[in-house]
Amino acid sequence: MFYLTLVICFFSSILLTPLVKKLAFIIGATDKPNHRKVHSRIMPRLGGLAIFLSFIIGILIFHPADEYHLPIVIGGIIILLTGMLDDVREISPKLKLAGQIAAAAVVVIYGGLKIEFINLPFGGIIDFGYLSIPFTMIWIIGITNAINLIDGLDGLAGGVSSIALISIAGMSFVMGNGYVTVMSLIVAASTIGFLFYNFHPAKIFMGDTGALFLGYIIGVLSLLGYKNVTFISLVIPVIILGVPISDTFFAIIRRFVNKQPLTAPDKSHLHHCLLRNGFSHRQTVLLIYAMAAVLGLAAFIFSQATVWGSLIMILVLLIVVEVFVEKIGLIRDDYKPLLTFMKGLKPINIRNR
């Protein structure tokens, strides 16, 4: 029955997307080209509604059961309405953030989903106490915005989200968390169906309706599978979501280095940098897909490693990411501290005396 549900979600998304496309033009949910956009014509941008409706069809058919299920769905509706409002009227960042806070609050405060403590690798514990609620909400809101920020090329956010959801489902299956596995795959099937219309050249954008919903559901499900665990285990969702998290992190660093406001838009995100480095639109998207898939695999290997192996793997991943960031100029073209340091290392010549 579950596999049939996934098939129904997939085809529901395919069938619903053309209808949502017509609705987008009727209500004015369109995206006009400008200097920051890569498209050159007016595009409908309500596609996330098709993903959400397919997701609702899936959970109504299969009825996944969990104590957090109702709060997750209610929060999903709030974030969907926030995204739809922005796609139609382009609301202010403050109002958009208010919607995200409301959605996160439903899950964290009403639903009771929160990270209360973390067991440290070599003994000891970090008890968040009253900070558990804001810490958990910051995670959900942060992932929501991270997915929204990478939604800059045809099929990019949808594909990266699908890979992350499949990775989360795989890890949850190994850990025996059936609810997270089921929910992740239902959303992934709905998103992959939408990609038939969203991959380059796109016929419709998911808009904030889709990006905010996917970011929200990924943030919640990634947290649901790893709350109240060790520090090492908590790193797993960070690795799985490495592409959107790192892009968001370096966007903050870039704006700090360039003395720009944190909310200032720019054309220096990961996909922009790859385009400037000579990759085509389709090549850039597929390359980022590959990065997301490699990180998903790395998360699985990480979960099976020893504590010392995990720490070494984290260090290697950080070095690789930093070198890549400096190579493509993600922060600034002249920002290359690690590469400069590596070039300055001269080989030691051993001479026979």
Residue positions forming the annotated binding site for Mg(2+): 148, 208
Q: Report the C-alpha dihedral over residues 311, 316, 319, 323, rounded to 10 degrees.
A: -160
Task: Provide the residue type at 67 as one letter.
Answer: E
- Torsion angles phi and psi, residue 126, rounded to 5: -105, 110
Rounded CA-CA distance 292/9 in Å is 23
71 with 136: CB under 8 angstroms? no
Token pair belonging to 72 = 């997750």
16 with 54: CB under 8 angstroms? yes
Rounded CA-CA distance 137/115 in Å is 10
Identify the CA nearest to 82 among candidates 234, 208, 257, 184: 208
Rounded CA-CA distance 289/297 in Å is 12
Kindly tell me the burial class for residue 122, based on how many C-beta atoms sit within 10 Å of its own C-beta (0-12, 13-18, 19 or more). Answer: exposed
Rounded CA-CA distance 334/177 in Å is 46
Residue positions forming the annotated binding site: 148, 208
